[in-house]
Amino acid sequence: MYNSAEQRLQLAVTAPCREILLYLFMNIKESHIAMPTSPTAPASSAEEKGGSSAKSSPPTEPVRQLSRTAIGWLLVAPFLIYIATFFILPLFSVVSMSTQMINDDYILVPVRTLQNFETAFNAENLPVLLRSAGYAACTTVLCLLLGYPLAWYIARYGGKLKSILLILVMLPFWTSYLIRIFSWMTILQTDGILNNLLLYLGVISQPIDMLNTHFSVILGLTYGFLPFATLPIYTSVEKIDNSILEAAADLGSSPRTTFFKVILPISMPGITAGSLLTFVPAMGDFITPDILGGVDTMMVGNLIQQQYLGFFNWPLGAAFALILMSIMLVSITAFLRMSNSTEFLA
């Protein structure tokens, strides 16, 4: 069968190697590899090896499950380490610090108390918490009212300009948020662009104080978080099939009924996501009220900043931070329940 010594030598070398590789591959269960039979291999190769099997038996099911589990933990380990290092441990630190006190030398006192939370809800700080929630709610409503028509126009009538319009929506993100808020201060100040324009057009006879007002803070928040509401709504609206709207029109549905009974329920996931992405960061914003507002427009973010960087009262600042997180969690839960409620859609 083998005409030369070279062929017999090749068979003697490759057959054991083939057996070893097949055994290793079957053990790690990466893939079931069936090694091709060499055209020069003898039919009785298994018998020449003393009856040894040419194919290793596959590992048992527990070995395979253990291997996959280990690989899964290895893949998720970096994420778990990141979350534990930069979220869970700092959160425990904030919770622990919120129950402590400081003395006159700004040194932590080893005592556990809830006095910081009582101070956070006193008559001086409670209006700030309510004002923050009110600003965030107004910002969310305005962003939805402005972002929904914009998202609808881009999705349904954008055509070839759809990509350009989306880039224009995201264009403010290419500039620092701080610089954008400072530009609004230039526009809204007494001798700013807006007052000069209104004076030139004869709309007003004297400049209007627009800075340090509720209007300026809500305007700045709405401008800053409008893209966060527009993009999720666009994603939901863009997926609406035209045949659904045509079917509603064929059944005699008016545009108003079609919107509230067809379009609005389908786009509700985008509305919910946009509301969360707007309300949550607006609730904790402190740059906008710090630049465009004043003492009467402070938000909870400004209180946290003052306690940490101004008064060095870290326990009270930690208490404010936990209260802010609690309000955000309640808001997120409320938004999710509203989006899943049929009564809300009706």
What is the reported pLDDT for 338? 74
- Amino acid identity of residue 243, one-letter, is S
Q: Is residue 113 part of a domain?
A: no
CB contact set of 221 (below 8 Å; sequence gap of 6+): 135, 136, 139, 282, 285, 288
Q: How far is residue 97's CA from residue 134's CA, in Å, rounded to a whole number?
A: 28
Q: Is residue 210 part of a domain?
A: yes
Residues 164 and 276 both lie in one domain: yes
Q: Which two tokens stand for residue 142?
A: 């305005």
For the domain that residue 178 is a member of, what is the CATH number? 1.10.3720.10
Chain segment 82-104, per-residue pLDDT in tens: 999 999 999 999 999 999 998 88
- Measured in degrees and rounded to the nearest 5, phi and psi for residue 251 equal -85, 5
Range of the domain at 126: 120-345
Report whether pLDDT(30) > 50: no
Q: Is residue 232 part of a domain?
A: yes
Q: Is residue 134 part of a domain?
A: yes
Chain segment 107-126, per-residue pLDDT in tens: 888 888 999 999 999 989 99
In DSSP notation, 162-216 reads: HHHHHHHHHGGGGS-HHHHHHHHHHHHSTTSHHHHHHHHHTS-SS----TTSHHH
Chain segment 295-341, per-residue pLDDT in tens: 889 999 999 999 999 889 999 999 999 999 999 899 888 888 877 76
What is the reported pLDDT for 57? 56
Residues 55 and 73 both lie in one domain: no
Q: Is residue 255 part of a domain?
A: yes
Residues 76 and 176 both lie in one domain: no
21 pLDDT band (50/70/90 cuts)?
low
Q: How far is residue 220's CA from residue 180's CA, in Å, rounded to a whole number?
A: 9
Q: Is residue 47 part of a domain?
A: yes
Residues 125 and 145 both lie in one domain: yes
Nearest to 280 by CA among 295, 300, 263, 298: 300
Residues 194 and 289 both lie in one domain: yes
Q: Is residue 74 part of a domain?
A: yes
Dihedral, CA atoms, 29, 30, 32, 35, nearest 10 degrees? Answer: -110
Residues 89 and 129 both lie in one domain: no
Count of CB atoms situated within 10 Å of the CB of 224:
22
Chain segment 224-249, per-residue pLDDT in tens: 999 999 999 999 999 898 899 889 98
Q: How far is residue 218's CA from residue 265's CA, in Å, rounded to a whole number?
A: 28
- Amino acid identity of residue 27, one-letter, is N
Report whether pLDDT(48) > 60: no
Could you tell me the CA-to-CA distances from 279 to 143, 221, 309 in Å, in that order?
A: 10, 10, 25
What is the reported pLDDT for 146? 96
What is the reported pLDDT for 38? 45
Residues 138 and 285 both lie in one domain: yes
pLDDT (average), residues 205-230: 93
Which residues partner with 109 through β-bridges?
101
* pTM, rounded to two decimals: 0.74
Report whether pLDDT(50) > 70: no
The number of folded domains in the chain is: 3
Residues 54 and 76 both lie in one domain: no
Residues 294 and 189 both lie in one domain: yes
Q: How far is residue 248's CA from residue 262's CA, in Å, rounded to a whole number?
A: 8
Residues 245 and 159 both lie in one domain: yes
pLDDT (average), residues 211-232: 94
Start-to-end Cα distance in the chain: 84
Category of 213 on φ-ψ map: left (φ > 0), alpha (ψ -120 to 50) or beta: beta
Chain segment 132-144, per-residue pLDDT in tens: 999 999 999 999 9
Residues 218 and 80 both lie in one domain: no
Chain segment 248-273, per-residue pLDDT in tens: 988 888 989 999 999 999 999 899 99
Report whether pLDDT(9) > 80: no
Q: How far is residue 14's CA from residue 17's CA, in Å, rounded to a whole number?
A: 5
Q: Could you tell me where the DSSP H helices lie in the chain? A: 5-28, 45-48, 61-83, 89-98, 115-120, 126-157, 162-170, 177-188, 193-201, 214-238, 242-250, 255-258, 264-266, 268-283, 287-292, 300-305, 314-340, 342-345
Q: Is residue 215 part of a domain?
A: yes
Residues 92 and 126 both lie in one domain: no
- Amino acid identity of residue 222, one-letter, is T
